[in-house]
Amino acid sequence: MTIEAGQSFTGQPTTARQAGARRPLGELGRAALGRAGRAALLATGRPPVPDALEPLVRVHRRHHPQADLALLARAYRLAEASHRGQKRKSGEPYITHPLAVTMILAQLGAGTTTLVASLLHDTVEDTELTLDQVGAGFGPEVAYLVDGVTKLEKVDFGAAAEAETFRKMLVATGDDVRVMVIKLADRLHNMRTIRHMKPASQVRIAKVTRDVLIPLAERLGIQVLKAELEDIVFATLHPEEHARTRGLMAGHEARPDTLLEPFARKLARQLAETGVAAEVTVRPRHCVSLHRVLLKRAAAPGRDGLPQEPQPADFGRLLVVVEENADCYAVLGELHTCWTPLPGEFKDFVAAPKFNLYQSLHTAVALDGGAVVEVLVRTRRMHGVAETGVVALGDPSPAGPAQDADELDRTDPARPGWLSRLLEWQQETPDPDAFWSALTADLAGDREITVVTESGETLQLRAGASCVDAAYLLGEETGHRCIGARVNGRLTALSTVLRDGDVLAVLTESLPAGGAAQPSGPSPEWLAHARTPAARLAIERWLADHPARLPVVRTGPAGGQPAPPAHRAGERRAAPVAVAGRPGATVRLARCCTPVPPDAVAGYPIRGGTVAVHRTGCPAGQRLRADGRAELEVRWQAEDAPAAGHRVTLRAEALNRPGLLADLTAAISAGGVGIVSAEVEPPQELRVRHTYTVELPEPGALPALMRAMLRVSGVYDVSRPHAPEGIRTRHSGGNGGDRPAPGVRPSWGIHGRSTAFSGLRSPGGIQGASPKPSSDQRTE
């Protein structure tokens, strides 16, 4: 479908009597015929339609045969009288603009109410007509649409007028999507006549169109508007590239089509032979679409190392339109049976529609000569929605969807999900500059992804969103309580970018009953991972309300993974043990066995005069002694306990089940224990091993913590890694003396292949994530 660009609305009559046709003998004269026609109209009580409206009426009746033409005629007369004497930059009468905008909407299939509002959309802004007068003459629905597209005055808002106008328009669109549809048609006609503007104004208007209105047209699914707007913006901002691309298109059109047309005929015959009723056509690419294909060609050098030249198949695609959904897959079967499909090129947007309700099957097949042709398959209903988006769904009705609406109408066209989210965060951004920046950033992602939670909830996120964005999409409280995430069954970093179809679980900390306790809340570095305005605003609001929170400083370890906060390292200024005969010696508690009071410990000198403290019987300590290191006597000093608490590593052996990680982290955080890192090994024979490094507020909390972990459903053993032989600190369910199950690997056997969280948080929190390197298993 194309929107006609060359309509002339000069008020000239277009009826047959104006064409100068000769009158046969015995027939009435022109004057008598005219009087008879007017008498017939008056006799039926149907007022004549103004001549300037006749092209519009013809188009509108194709979509709405029972349209109220009298209402349209009355709106036109009021608009023409209100704008009388006004001129556009081109010198044409101003009434040509609302007529052209209304023609665009009529070609899209918009309803009569939308066309009436379109005819009047500039009257309140540019004439003496008031909104109350519009409402009194045409009803509150038309008045609401006119008010929604009326610009705010610069005299009242200054430089913020444009941003505040778009905010007003978006809020109005939240209640009636037709407001934005009218605005898009208005901008399309203004872009068609942009050559009459000053060069600086052309660039400014084209950039706003590119950054805001084209993405909005994409989100509303109005492809025909979006494509033409893209081409005009391309010609305005990049005239040389546009001229080059248009030249290629003209050269291709001048040559006979020896690829796509023959293939379309062959496919149509094949489908007819199999009994599938289908209409096969060649769908040429518009200018910007072809330019994108050429850029991909240039970026992918051929076998000779030179950029690839455009191929005949680059200039268009095949469109197959069928009657029923099942026919779409029948066509796909014929395509993939008779021609070679390209792996990775098939996309099913019928079973999983895009966020803007777009549905089609996409595939690409290789022909005998090696040419690759893209094919789109859809029903007639899908084709209408693919072309005109929400306009094809009809006017929003307060009574709800029609009784005969099909499954495609399960999304509310008056309030799409992306618009609801946008309206939520715009309320939290009173500053016009901040709103404009957030709006353009939010619209910059030209596609959305679908993520499914493990509980079955579907989340729509912009492409590039992270686990942080998903957490806050589930609710601000969920985001503030987030302590980790699991994607497709594996623990992952909160900064992980989600992909379409991912299965997500947001892990949250449990709070004591009563509601008095507050969640740990987000950290400042979460702002670097938040891609959606809603998440960023929620995080910024939390940080502003909790200024006492110490800032986190990253040191940038290898691999770009988060490092523990620098201020935590400073808290470990005092060692909790003293070395006999070496006062003031630097002491480091070994990470392999994580000793805590009252463990029996021994010290071993290592590089730089530092003394590494291991639990008695730790295999790593025994290796140091076997290497000739002297065993030093050390003792615990309660008065020099580390400010951050005592760090200890615990291992939980369990039967794998959904929600196990969330339940274990909740059991740990419920005791006021901070989680430093968590590691989950891949399950083996339905068994799984979780390893946590935690910080105890005091050593006496360790037994209670291990008992709490053991009470979690499915956990059959909780122990400390590298426990000394004969002095094993273990809590087991049932057979406490049993050896570990043979199917569970030892802790040093994964060599960094599992996914682990790392970083420090306040009690109960996990922050950041990184693969745990195998070097963590080495001695100090």
- The neighbouring-strand residues paired with 635 are 578
Amino acid, res. 13? P
Q: How far apart are the first and last CA of the chain?
A: 71
Q: Give me the pLDDT at residue 610, please.
A: 80
Q: From the CB of residue 257, how many other CB atoms can be counted at a distance below 10 Å?
A: 16
Q: What is the pLDDT of residues 636-672, one digit of tens each?
A: 776 555 555 678 888 898 877 777 888 888 888 887 7
Q: Got the DSSP string for 367-395? A: -TTS-EEEEEEEEHHHHHHHHHGGGGG-S
Dihedral angle of Cα 263, 265, 269, 270, to the nearest 10 degrees: 20
Q: Read off the tokens for 200.
A: 């600086």
Radius of gyration of the chain (CA): 35
Ramachandran category for residue 382: left, alpha or beta (phi over 0 → left; psi -120 to 50 → alpha): alpha
Pairing label, strands 503-508, 448-453: parallel
Are 679 and 766 in contact by the 8 Å Cβ rule? The answer is no
Pairing label, strands 448-453, 458-462: antiparallel
d(CA 237, CA 288): 12
d(CA 30, CA 382): 47
- The neighbouring-strand residues paired with 206 are none
Can you tell me which residue has the tokens 């986190």? Answer: 552
Are 466 and 498 in contact by the 8 Å Cβ rule? The answer is yes
Taking the chain (780 residues) in consecutive chunks of 10 residues, what is each chunk's mean pLDDT? 42 37 44 50 58 91 90 93 91 93 94 94 90 92 91 62 79 84 93 92 92 87 93 94 93 91 94 93 93 82 70 92 93 93 88 83 90 94 91 65 40 53 63 69 68 83 86 87 84 84 84 65 83 82 69 35 37 61 75 79 78 81 79 72 70 81 84 82 79 82 87 85 50 41 33 32 36 34
Q: Give me the pLDDT at residue 40, please.
A: 44
d(CA 300, CA 310): 12
Q: Read off the tokens for 225.
A: 């508007």
Are 756 and 772 in contact by the 8 Å Cβ rule? The answer is yes
3-class SS of residue 756: strand
Q: Read off the tokens for 271.
A: 């489908």
Are 644 and 486 in contact by the 8 Å Cβ rule? The answer is no
- The mean of the pLDDT values for the chain is 76
Return phi, psi of residue 283, to 5°. Answer: -110, 100
d(CA 520, CA 526): 13
Query: ω before 682 within 30° of 0 (cis)?
Result: no
3-class SS of residue 693: strand
Are 434 and 237 in contact by the 8 Å Cβ rule? The answer is no
Ramachandran category for residue 729: left, alpha or beta (phi over 0 → left; psi -120 to 50 → alpha): beta
E strands, 389-489, in order: 448-453, 458-462, 482-487
d(CA 589, CA 567): 19
d(CA 128, CA 243): 43
Q: Got the DSSP string for 215-237? A: HHHHHTT-HHHHHHHHHHHHHHH
Residues classed as catalytic: 125-126
d(CA 154, CA 165): 10
Are 754 and 769 in contact by the 8 Å Cβ rule? The answer is no
Helices (H) and strands (E) in the chain, counts: 28, 22
What is the model's pTM? 0.59
Q: Got the DSSP string for 493-525? A: -TTPBP-TT-EEEEEE----TTS-SPP----GG
d(CA 699, CA 598): 8
Nearest to 434 by CA among 536, 547, 524: 536
d(CA 122, CA 119): 8
d(CA 505, CA 486): 5
Q: Give me the pLDDT at residue 349, please.
A: 86
Q: What is the pLDDT of residues 428-470, one digit of tens each?
A: 666 666 666 767 766 765 567 778 888 878 787 877 889 999 9
Q: Give me the pLDDT at residue 445, please.
A: 58
